[in-house]
């Protein structure tokens, strides 16, 4: 039973630490997704290649990407470190990073915002309780103002140029991968990382910042699709629906609806965690989708968040090849993932057996760094596909009911 | 370091996920429905920002380590499946009918 067999809190295990770092990165972006979508809608509609080209409204596109979005990220990042005052100086410091830059400086904002807030916290800790009565407002306003001014200058002189170099290198690396047609290989890292709950970290912490920069330049980016394509997860869930353990089947259709239409990919993670080799299905599906997206030279305008088919429909740029590419890629990724997943499930030959060959409750050793999971997570029992090792008490095997609560 | 609480003493049940925006919102909605009429607040949160007055925290087993950092001394109930997990049914039953929750 999950409530009894859980190991003592190893809160600083590598998995928890990587997750938490990722949580910090994605935590700066995710609360602001609404602004990203607003920018995406305006971009998709009004740029010259958009649905309703309009010179006036298109003037919004560039300032939103270069100023609004990074400042929101710096604000949120600062707030995570030191509340409202941290958010305030985080926003001011980010302004130093973005001023004069000709690309959206998301990575710079993710550094400058929290750093400025940390400095603000140090200052507040020093002045706390030492201000003469009646002078609190004066001290608070001016300490924030001076920290903001200093960090904005430091952001402009130091953080900006440094992060500009980092961003350029990262963009070069992505371009290198695209030019050599090896971007699909990214699925080997992304799909295992996703089911280890690094999905938001990978997508919003790493890919979004680079993707928005590409989209601001070219009106679309394939990087938005790498983690968010709902096809591979759909394929795995369909494989379970037709060939998975019978007792899991009743709840699978609801999981499909929530995953594919609601965009909450977490719903399919347990189906992979209980049979880790199933990650090969999503890797194959994800790589297929990316390869087809690349073939058509397609991408999305803004983050499809959450990764639902509806978000995709809203963020697909105008143009037949864009639409054909995105939805061919998505369908193909689902089909490949379904086929590989079904084969790994032995096409239902073991449907009556126990559901899991690994406990799905996270009791296995911590050290499964993203990227090593495909080999490291595979059963070492010489497990040919479909061979199940009975595992008593693994939650998820004990006859789940259809969603009823 | 096992803590426990009687379901009848639970005033705030928090469902946590990585961002506190997706799956936790969905599960909180479901649990709120099945706990309608009970004297318990059902909320959702990011796993790294669990409210201090949460009596019981529910999250996916893969996130339980992180939840325990912010919810030390409180009961953390891990689950494996988002739909139809018996651990979730047990939480509902304990709050509705009384009974110990451990974790």
Q: At residue A73, does pLDDT exceed 90?
A: yes
Of the partner residues B61, B66, B101, the one whose CB lies closest to the CB of residue A6: B61
For the entire predicted model, the pTM comes to 0.81
Residue B3 lies in a domain: no
The rounded percent of chain A whose pLDDT value lies above 70 is 83
**How many CA within 13 A on the CB side of residue A200?**
29
Is A221 an 8 Å CB contact of chain B?
Answer: no
How many whole angstroms separate alpha carbon A91 and alpha carbon A149? 11
The partner residue sitting opposite A266, judged by closest CB among B46, B82, B84, is: B82
Q: Does the pLDDT of residue A2 top 50, yes or no?
A: no
Catalytic member of B13, B14, B17, B75:
B17
CATH code at B40? 3.40.50.2300
Measure in Å the smallest separation between the Cα of B42 and chain A Cα atoms: 13
Q: Is B79 exposed, middle or buried (0-12, 13-18, 19+ CB in 10 A)?
A: buried
Mean pLDDT of all residues belonging to chain A:
85
Q: Tell me, yes or no, if A20 comes closer than 8 A to chain B by beta carbon.
A: yes
The pLDDT of A41-62, averaged and rounded, is 92
pLDDT at A358 over 80: no
Q: Is the pLDDT of residue A178 over 50?
A: yes
Q: Is B59 a catalytic residue?
A: no
User: pLDDT: is A358 or A287 the higher one?
Assistant: A287
The domain tally of chain B equals 1
Residues on chain A touching B78 (C-beta within 8 angstroms): 2-3, 6, 361-362
B1 part of a folded domain: no
CA of B15 to nearest chain A CA: how many angstroms apart? 14
pLDDT, residue A177, reads 87
What pLDDT was estimated at residue A348? Answer: 83
- Average pLDDT on A327-339 reads 97
Residue of A4, A8, A9, A237 to mutate when probing chain B, most B C-beta within 10 A? A9
Contact present, A228 and A202 (Cβ < 8 Å): no
Nearest CB to B84; choose among A11, A15, A400 = A400
A251 touching B (Cβ < 8 Å): yes
Percent of chain A at pLDDT > 90 equals: 66
Secondary structure (DSSP) of A214-255: HHHHHS-BTHHHHHH-SHHHHHHHHHHHHHS-GGGGGGHHHH
Residue A254 forms contact with B (CB below 8 Å): yes
Residue B102 included in any domain: no
Residue B76 resides in a domain: yes
Over its C-alpha atoms, chain B yields an Rg (Å, rounded) of: 12
Contact B18 A360 (CB under 8 A): no
Instruction: Determine the average pLDDT of the residues in A278-289.
Output: 97
- CA of A24: how far to CAs of A28, A105, A110, A191, B44, in Å? 7, 17, 9, 20, 18
In a domain, B2, yes or no: no
Is residue A224 within 8 A of residue A330, CB to CB? The reply is: no
Tell me the per-residue pLDDT of A288-330, one tens digit each, with 9 for 90 and over. 999 999 999 999 999 999 999 999 999 999 999 999 999 999 9
Q: What is the pLDDT of residue A391?
A: 38
pLDDT tens figures, B62-94: 999 999 988 888 999 999 999 989 999 999 999
Mean pLDDT of A334-349: 94
Q: Where are the alpha helices (DSSP H) in A47-135?
A: 55-58, 61-63, 69-98, 106-127
- pLDDT at site A402: 42
Residues of B within 8 A of A6 (CB-CB) are 61, 64, 78, 103
Question: At CA A286, angle to CA A238 and CA A267, rounded to 5?
Answer: 45
Q: How far is B62 from chain A (nearest CA, A)?
A: 5
Domain assignment of residue B53, yes or no: yes
- Full domain range(s) for residue B55: 12-96
In total, chain B counts a number of residues equal to: 103
Q: Report the residue of chain B nearest A305, measured CA to CA.
A: B22
pLDDT tops 50 at residue A202: yes
Contact between A270 and B80 using a beta-carbon 8 Å cutoff: yes
The confidence band for A84, taking pLDDT boundaries of 50, 70 and 90, is very high
A306 inside 8 A of chain B by CB = yes
Given a cut of 60, whether residue A10 has pLDDT beyond it is: no
Q: Per the domain annotation, does B69 fall within a domain?
A: yes
CB contact under 8 A, B31 and A405: yes
């Amino acid at each position: 039973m999950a409530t009894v067999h859980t190991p003592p809190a190893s809160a600083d295990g590598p998995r928890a630490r990587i997750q938490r770092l990722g949580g910090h990165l994605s935590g700066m972006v995710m609360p602001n997704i609404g602004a990203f979508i607003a920018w995406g809608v305006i971009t998709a509609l009004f740029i010259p290649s958009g649905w309703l080209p309009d010179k006036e409204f298109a003037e919004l596109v560039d300032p939103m990407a270069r100023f609004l979005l990074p400042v929101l990220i710096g604000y949120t990042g600062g707030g995570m470190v030191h509340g409202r005052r941290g958010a305030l100086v985080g926003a001011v410091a980010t302004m130093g990073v973005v001023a004069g830059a000709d690309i959206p400086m998301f990575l710079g904002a993710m550094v400058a915002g929290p750093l400025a807030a940390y400095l603000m916290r140090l200052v507040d800790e020093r002045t706390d309780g030492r201000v003469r009565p009646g002078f609190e407002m004066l001290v608070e306003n001016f300490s924030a103002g001076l920290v903001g001014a200093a960090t904005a200058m430091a952001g402009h002189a130091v953080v900006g140029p440094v992060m500009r170099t980092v961003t350029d290198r990262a963009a070069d690396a992505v371009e290198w991968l695209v030019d050599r047609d090896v971007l699909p290989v990214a699925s080997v890292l992304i799909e295992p990382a996703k089911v280890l709950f690094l999905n938001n970290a990978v997508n919003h912490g790493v890919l979004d910042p680079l993707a928005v920069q590409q989209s601001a330049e070219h009106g679309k980016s394939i990087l938005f699709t790498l983690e968010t394509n709902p096809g591979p997860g759909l394929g795995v869930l369909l494989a379970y629906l037709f060939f998975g353990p019978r007792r899991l089947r009743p709840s699978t259709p609801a999981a499909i609806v929530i995953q594919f239409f609601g965009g909450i990919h977490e719903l399919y993670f347990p189906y992979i965690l209980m049979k880790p080799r199933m990650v090969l299905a999503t890797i194959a599906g994800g790589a297929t989708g990316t390869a087809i997206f690349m073939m058509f030279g397609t991408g999305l305008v803004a983050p499809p968040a959450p990764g639902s088919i509806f978000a995709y429909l809203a963020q697909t740029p105008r143009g037949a090849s864009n639409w054909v590419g995105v939805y061919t890629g998505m369908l193909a990724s689902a089909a490949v993932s379904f086929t590989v997943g079904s084969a790994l499930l032995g096409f239902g030959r073991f449907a009556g057996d126990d559901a899991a060959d690994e406990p799905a409750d996270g009791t296995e050793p911590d050290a499964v760094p993203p990227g090593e999971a495909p080999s490291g997570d595979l059963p070492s029992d010489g497990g040919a596909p479909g061979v199940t090792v009975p595992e008593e008490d693994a939650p998820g095997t004990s006859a789940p009911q259809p969603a009823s609560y | 370091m096992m803590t426990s609480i009687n379901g009848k003493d639970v005033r705030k049940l928090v469902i946590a996920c990585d961002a506190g925006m997706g799956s936790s919102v969905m599960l909180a909605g479901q649990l709120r429905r099945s706990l309608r009429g009970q004297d318990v607040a059902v909320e959702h949160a990011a796993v790294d920002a669990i409210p201090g007055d949460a009596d019981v925290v529910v999250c996916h087993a893969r996130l339980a380590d992180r939840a325990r950092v912010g919810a030390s001394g409180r009961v953390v109930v891990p689950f494996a499946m988002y739909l139809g997990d018996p651990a979730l049914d047990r939480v509902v039953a304990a709050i509705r009918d009384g009974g110990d929750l451990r974790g």
